[in-house]
Amino acid sequence: MKYAIIYWSRYGNGKKIVDYLAEKLKEKGEVMVFTTSDVDPAAMPEADLYVFSAPTEAFNIQKNMRNFMKKLEGMEGKKYGIINTHAMERNWLHKMEKLLSKKKMVKVAGVDFKVGKDASAGNGLMDGWERKLDEFAGKL
Ligand SMILES: Cc1cc2nc3c(=O)[nH]c(=O)nc-3n(C[C@H](O)[C@H](O)[C@H](O)COP(=O)(O)O)c2cc1C
């Protein structure tokens, strides 16, 4: 399996998730990790599965990731997993799913992580996040 992870993270909580996930997925194949500014959404690297990770900001998926998803090209039929971090109760996976379904991509799995008060220091992930991520990685 060849995986491409594309993420955006302001404080590092999402990056922590992505770094951990990349190590997990390396047990199953090749893993490439990019931020949304590292790759051109209209010329995506070839992969068997794409993982997108971004926080909720201002009651939406963070803007860079939203714009990135809107500009994706040539992704019809490609599989994806999604990750959302958020501070309030509600997660925004549905918005990521909506944007990717417009690109005719195929959802494999989604997971969200609520962050706590130390999120702005990059330490907001709650106990048990690794286990939750292991479960997600197992579906990819
Ligand atoms: C400008 C801004 C707006 C935010 N708005 C929301 C929001 O509407 N809902 C929410 O659940 N969390 C909100 N958050 C909290 C972020 O989701 C949280 O900081 C993020 O998930 C942490 O991940 P990161 O360290 O990868 O950036 C906001 C954070 C910032 C900085």
CATH label of the domain that carries residue 132: 3.40.50.360
Q: For residue 114, which atom of ligand 1 is closest to its CA?
A: 21
Contact in structure between 4 and 45 (CB atoms under 8 Å): yes
Write down the pLDDT at residue 59.
98
Among 114, 41, 43, 110, which residue's Cα sits nearest to residue 79? 110
Nearest CA to ligand 1 atom 14: 57
The domain of 31 spans 2-139
Nearest CA to ligand 1 atom 17: 86
119 Cβ inside 6 Å of ligand 1: yes
3-class DSSP string for the chain = CEEEEEECCCCCHHHHHHHHHHHHHCCCCEEEEEECCCCCCCCCCCCCEEEEEEEECCCCECHHHHHHHHCCCCCCCCEEEEEEEECCCCCCHHHHHHHHHHCCCEEEEEEEEEECCCHHHCCCECCCHHHHHHHHHHHC
55 Cβ inside 6 Å of ligand 1: yes
Domains: count for the chain: 1
84 Cβ inside 6 Å of ligand 1: no
pLDDT in tens, the chain (140 residues): 999 999 999 999 999 999 999 999 999 999 999 999 999 999 999 999 999 999 999 999 999 999 999 999 999 999 999 999 999 999 999 999 999 999 999 999 999 999 999 999 999 999 999 999 999 999 99
The Cβ of residue 35 has, within 10 Å, a number of other Cβ atoms equal to 16
The rounded distance, in Å, linking the Cα atoms of 16 and 120 is 13
Q: How much distance in Å is there from the Cα of 95 to the middle of ligand 1?
A: 15
